[in-house]
Amino acid sequence: MKFVIEPAKKCAGRLGLLTGIDRIPDKSYKTPLLLFTEQNLSREVLEISGFQNIAVLLSFDCSVQMTNALKLYKKGISEFIGLKECLTFVTIKNPCYPCLTGHHEKGSLPVYKKSGKINVTSEDYMTFIKESMPDFFVTLADGDTWHDCSKKRIIKSNERSNEMLDECIKHQQGIKVKWSKMIGTVEGGYSEHERRKSVDHIKQHDEKIIGYFIDGLHRNGHDAVSLDSIKVNEIVKYTLSILPHDKIKIMLGAFLPNQVLELVSIGIDVFDSSFAILVSKMNRALTFNFNLQNPALLDSGPEIDLTDSKYKDDFSPFVESCQCLTCKQHTKAYTNHLLNTKELLGPMLLTIHNLHHYKMYFEAIRECIKNDELSDLKEMIDVQYKNKTFSYEVQKNVAQTN
């Protein structure tokens, strides 16, 4: 797998190309890249919704139960789930759902599934990687740090993560993982000192690492929405300054669209669609405008609540210019009815639209970088989300639901 950075006019963001992927050598992916995190849409729905040539994020916590089946299947998780033509990336925890903290035990990482907690060792994790054969994956790490956690917790997180990295590399060499490439997980919370220690340790294995995953800044789910953007930008910018320039950089989480642009401008290459999924779970549709050629802003704002009674007789699409399956074939009124009567089709139509809207947003981001218009796009998105107070907290007291 190769990551080629394209020359940019200025320092606002960077364009890149992922190519030479061992399993799918005829495919290439442009960065900034969006990873699709929704696992409840079938191959058929993805196809008719126009989601071709996508990159898919699969989390260990939602997929570990497949290990034995994958061992018998012997063709990897991409083909197992019917998406053999898609790029697959494995992370530890699903970024859509809040993570529980604490409960650490020596030599393992606590991971919460729907059925409860399991303690995962590096050998457990690498066995899953061997059987699932993703195109690339993050190393096992203790990312249980957040904006106000203690210094002691950050230090312990780093020590445990370094040990897990060494174990992952040892197991990778021993079990001969087929074609899967390793992404080094950088920990250290909001401490520059600890971030440098983490980076220095990963650099000892630089020839085995194709990129870096910057972790440990939030606890997934709605926690990523409410971050202090200034603190996040500062620590991410510092971390990138001590990492090799030519390797891919990944950050996961439900960041607001304007925060995504901040991270793009700093130098992050890969994100995920958890924000779009979070908005869908709140029964809202994304409507924010990212078209610089037609900058008119909608009076309804960047998101609309389709359970609101004012839409029960509104027979227009979510967004007039949208070409997604939902907007071409359905209306706000119909979706309002589905959501208020608890029909399963309602959330699915919302998810299809929001994923499409977010996918097109990333296409616009790449175009703006190419044309040196990223600052204009950021100003446009900032205006729409300024002083908006949306709730993104799903009312469910579990670590995850899938």
| d(C-alpha 184, C-alpha 194), whole Å | 15
Q: Are 262 and 271 in contact (CB under 8 A)?
A: no
Peptide bond into 257 cis (omega under 30): no
| d(C-alpha 193, C-alpha 146), whole Å | 16
For residue 159, give both structure tokens: 């020590």
| d(C-alpha 86, C-alpha 282), whole Å | 28
Helix axes 151-175, 192-203, angle to 10 degrees: 10
The burial of 66, by beta-carbon neighbours within 10 Å (0-12 exposed, 13-18 middle, 19 or more buried), is given as middle
Residue 322 annotated as part of some ligand binding site: yes
Give the number of residues written for the chain. Answer: 402
The one-letter amino acid at 207: E
The one-letter amino acid at 246: D
Helix (H) or strand (E) holding 127: helix 122-132
The one-letter amino acid at 340: N
Residue 201 annotated as part of some ligand binding site: no
User: How many angstroms from the chain centroid is the CA of residue 310?
Assistant: 33
| d(C-alpha 394, C-alpha 151), whole Å | 30
Which residue from 126, 154, 393 is spatially nearest to 278, judged by alpha carbons? 393
| d(C-alpha 179, C-alpha 76), whole Å | 11
Residues whose CB falls within 8 Å of the CB of residue 90, separated by 6 or more in sequence, listed in order:
57, 58, 59, 60, 63, 77, 128, 129, 132, 134, 136, 137, 138
DSSP per position, 41-71: S-HHHHHHTT--S-EEEEEHHHHGGGHHHHH
| d(C-alpha 175, C-alpha 128), whole Å | 11
Query: Distances in Å between the alpha carbon of 206 and those of 200, 291, 305?
Result: 10, 40, 47
Which positions make up the binding site?
A: 322, 324, 327, 353
Which positions make up the binding site for Zn(2+)?
A: 322, 324, 327, 353
